[in-house]
Amino acid sequence: MNDTNVSLTVLTRLADELTDLTPEARKAATYVLENPRDVGVSTVREIAEAAQVKPNTVVRMARQIGFDGYEDFREPFRDAIRRGAADFPDRVRWLQDIRRSGALGELYADMVQGALRNIEDTFAGITANALQTAAETIWASRNVFTLGVGVNNSNACNFTYLASTGMVQFSAIPRPGSTAVDDLAWADARDVLIAITCKPYRTEVVEAVQIAREQGVRVIALSDSPASPIIRGADHGFVVAAETPQFFPSSVSTIALLETLLSFVIAVASDEVVKRVETFHKRRHQLGIYDEGAS
């Protein structure tokens, strides 16, 4: 949407004020942070009902971050597209209905549009400076632990695999037969944890982030909302758009962001990384890992 940067600024202010709000206002703020596109198409009463608070609570929330009232607060979101909210089982049934109706062309278009929109929305809310700062934190660290479970386990492993072609301090956790908190047992302020989880947030990831912070580990969090329990309090937090017609959160923007973050790490690293990558691939050729005869 055209007002992405404006609404993002509002969401950032709201996230910063979250802990200072009353419990009821915090409920309203959390709903807005998790459903920003609903704001532009909903009245104050509809938002209040959805957040299970009173309408005047929503108004007070808006005023606390500098707006005259709800209408003023809503203005940056007016052109937003309503955010889908179907539960996983509902989306599965919907997909099957499309298949039976022969409307897979429509599904194809929705998937492509959703993937492109997720990429645009994600990078519209992230600056090069934020990525550079996170990359410098990673490069200066002793160990980098990348944590993802479920679908994000493969995303964490892919990031770690790519990083390992030039660097040795990266580990994907939880390791086989272990738990994330055990893998972080000896981590401290010299280390970095890159944590990934989207709604519904995985308990083991949330707990690992909490423990890592207690141990002084610097946390880089990737999640789908400024109100995510791993984003709040992270040293570097990145919100990824994960909407999709599918029944599971999309990984497209997560993968794109991780690849971009890794490219920034390489950019801020010393020249030895380039030599290590060259050596890594030369070794692969020598071991016959690549099919040299393939066209």
Q: State if pTM tops 0.85.
A: no
Residue numbers in the chain where pLDDT is lower than 70: 1-8, 41, 78-103, 293-295
Quote the pLDDT of residue 1.
37
Q: Alpha helix locations (H) across 102-149? A: 104-124, 128-139
Quote the pLDDT of residue 223.
97
- Rounded CA-CA distance 208/180 in Å is 6
Q: Alpha helix locations (H) across the chain? A: 4-17, 23-34, 36-39, 44-51, 55-64, 70-74, 88-101, 104-124, 128-139, 151-163, 180-183, 203-214, 252-268, 272-286
Q: How crowded is residue 225: how many other Cβ atoms within 10 Å of its Cβ?
A: 22
Quote the pLDDT of residue 4.
45
Quote the pLDDT of residue 81.
38
For 246, what's the count of Cα atoms within 13 Å in the CB-facing half-sphere? 14
pLDDT in tens, 95-113: 566 556 666 777 777 788 8
Q: How crowded is residue 67: how many other Cβ atoms within 10 Å of its Cβ?
A: 18
Task: Let me know if 163 is exposed, middle or buried by CB neighbors in 10 A (0-12, 13-18, 19+).
Answer: buried
Is residue 197 within 8 Å of residue 156, measured between CB atoms? Answer: no
- Using alpha carbons, select from 205, 206, 203, 198 the residue that is nearest to residue 249: 198
Q: How crowded is residue 270: how many other Cβ atoms within 10 Å of its Cβ?
A: 9
pLDDT in tens, 141-186: 999 999 999 999 999 999 999 998 888 899 999 999 999 999 999 9
